[in-house]
Structure 1
Amino acid sequence: MTGAGATETPDGFPREADGYERLWTPHRMVYVDGPAKVTSTTERECPFCTGPRGPDADALIVHRGRTCFVALNLFPYNPGHLLVCPYRHVPDLTTMTAAERAEAIELVTTGIEVLRAAKRPTGFNTGMNTGEGAGAGIAGHAHLHVVPRWDGDANFLPIIARTKALPELLGDTREQLAAAWPTGGEESADGPR
């Protein structure tokens, strides 16, 4: 015992007196404080600019279009969390061309259809955070979010522990969604690199 009301965990560590178990996720520190944390969004260092230059699997790219591409979020809110990004390094919708905006919305729409077929979510959150003040993690490069949601997918972890439990590996999700993405039309399977 380490204080009034405290007990020990099965491993012999003291349990906090508030009754909550602690779920430690030190692997998230690479995003919070480590090498995966984006501190510069110059075009040369932007992950949305450098990613499409390499293999799709390495950049988690699900689909390449003419002016935009679709990739999985490296730090997703839910399995299948998609990002729709223009290839050009532009900060928001107002700086995207009409063709980029039109294709981005079409890719969001197709992303929803693909996620419905592959993952069967019961809803979606879609949107764009424009600028650091609005929560954009990579404010220098416009991107839209498509987040699949399921009834009851939000439990205490995101609210209390600021932690999200994801049941599927990103590589597995990328393969499943890339295989389910429709082909044809004017999009190129190879897209710009």
Structure 2
Amino acid sequence: MVEPLVVLIVACEIGFWVVLGAGLLARYALKMRRLGAALLVCTPVVDVVLLVATVFDLRSGGEATSAHGLAAIYLGVSVAFGHSMLRWADQRVAHRFAGGPPPTKPPKSGPAKVRHEWREFGKFAVAWAIACVVMLLLMFVVGTPERTQALWGQMSGLTVVGVIWLLGWPVYHSVAEVVNGREKSRQ
């Protein structure tokens, strides 16, 4: 059986995209810029709903599960990457339906690529920090270490993802740029 909190997480993700779509529809198709902006500003409300439901679930005596950790991770990712996701969608809709400029693409190489990779990893670091703080707060709310073991596992897993991301992208591209720079200087 699926945990109700997992269903709520899925519903919040769908809600995020519905509110985003409604905001873009109002902004570009209906030419109602203020309504569109108001709807886009409301996307974080979805995160608040999830956070309140998660705290309520734990305060009512539930044991912290991986679903609670997933809710914290969802919140962290939504806060850290939400603005760039909104910008990504807005650029594409503006270009496709309102004659806006083509969407910007991430750089493919060079120092700009390195900066891009570090900036994206920085967003992950913010998401990681928010998720871990939320999980620690949930542990505090529960107050019983035996009922929060799953959250420690979620934090560990998220940290492993961060190390892989760090080494696989920003560090890799930074080293590649240094190596390429040395090869070019020898020629």
Q: TM-score range by the shorter chain?
A: under 0.3
TM-score of the superposed pair, with normalisation by structure 2? 0.25
Report the TM-score, using the length of structure 1 for normalisation. 0.24
Q: Choose between structure 1 and 2: higher strand proportion.
A: 1
- Whose helix fraction is larger, Structure 1's or Structure 2's? 2
Select the structure of larger CA radius of gyration: 2
